[in-house]
């Protein structure tokens, strides 16, 4: 970059903290730093940045389409405060028809949020963990939705606080809130 352009850019963006002499020092330090003048590496970095930007734009397009589909379907799940179009779309996309599950415990198990049972003979553990047997996309969406619902709903916030007062960890409590959310759904 030309010295005059660099100096004016730094002067403007630093609100006058960088002088022309400091800009010269910074330029000398940059030349001596870890950087490289390898053109092949420069091309690789440029292509990697272009790929990241392409993936970002594709992701934004998909999220826009999901939002349009969720607005068109006008699902009841969108009435729950804290569930947005993307999370609602992920949940409905993974569950499909909610009526195929006969009880709230079944979609919970389908998501892998049910407790795993560990017992041997007469021994039965006191601490259980989620089984993680089911759909990881649904599990992610439900935990994420539970986190947002706890922020936006007084009932879920109270439930969260009660479970935290029992000495449980944050993610353990979010699992419980996700289970409550599945029952509501």
Instruction: Report the percentage of the chain scoring pLDDT > 70.
Output: 94
Instruction: Say what the pLDDT of residue 145 is.
Output: 93
Averaged pLDDT of the chain: 87
pLDDT confidence bin for 124, thresholds 50/70/90? low
108 with 101: CB under 8 angstroms? no
CA distance 130 to 175: 8
Q: What percent of the chain has pLDDT over 90?
A: 36
Residue 119 pLDDT exceeds 70: no
3 state DSSP class of 166:
coil
- Find, among 140, 130, 120, the residue nearest to 168 by Cα: 130
Question: What number of other Cβ atoms are within 10 A of residue 120's Cβ?
Answer: 7
> Which pLDDT band, with edges at 50, 70 and 90, does 125 fall under?
low
Does residue 88 carry a pLDDT above 70? yes
Q: What is the pLDDT of residues 145-185, one digit of tens each?
A: 999 999 999 999 999 999 999 998 998 899 899 989 988 88
Please name which of 152, 131, 141 lies closest in space to residue 178, comparing C-alpha atoms: 141
What pLDDT, in 10s, does the model give residues 27-75? Answer: 888 887 776 777 888 899 899 999 999 999 999 999 999 999 999 988 8
Contact 78, 93 (CB under 8 A): no
pLDDT score for 41: 84
3-state SS string for 108-160: HHHHCCCECCCEECCEECCCCCECCCCCHHHHHHHHHHHHHHHHHCHHHHHHH
Confidence category of residue 7, pLDDT binned at 50, 70, 90: confident
Per-residue model confidence (pLDDT) at position 60: 95
Task: Mean pLDDT check: name the lowest of 20-24, 103-107, 117-121.
Answer: 117-121
């Amino acid at each position: 970059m030309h010295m005059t352009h660099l100096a004016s850019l730094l002067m403007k963006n630093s609100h006058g903290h960088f002088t022309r002499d400091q800009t010269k020092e910074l330029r000398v330090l940059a030349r001596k730093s870890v950087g490289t003048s390898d053109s092949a590496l420069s091309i690789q970095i440029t292509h990697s940045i272009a790929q990241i930007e392409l993936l970002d734009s594709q992701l934004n397009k998909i999220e826009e389409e999901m939002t349009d589909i969720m607005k068109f379907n006008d699902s009841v799940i969108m009435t729950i405060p804290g569930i947005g179009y993307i999370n609602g779309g992920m949940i409905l996309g993974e569950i499909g028809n909610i009526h195929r599950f006969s009880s709230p415990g079944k979609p919970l198990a389908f998501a892998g949020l049910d407790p795993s049972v560990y017992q041997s003979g007469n021994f039965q553990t006191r601490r259980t963990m989620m089984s993680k047997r089911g759909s990881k996309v649904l599990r992610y969406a439900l935990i994420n939705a539970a986190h947002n619902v706890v922020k936006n709903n007084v009932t879920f916030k109270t439930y969260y606080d009660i479970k935290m007062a029992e000495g449980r960890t944050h993610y353990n409590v979010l699992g419980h809130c996700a289970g409550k959310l599945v029952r509501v759904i």
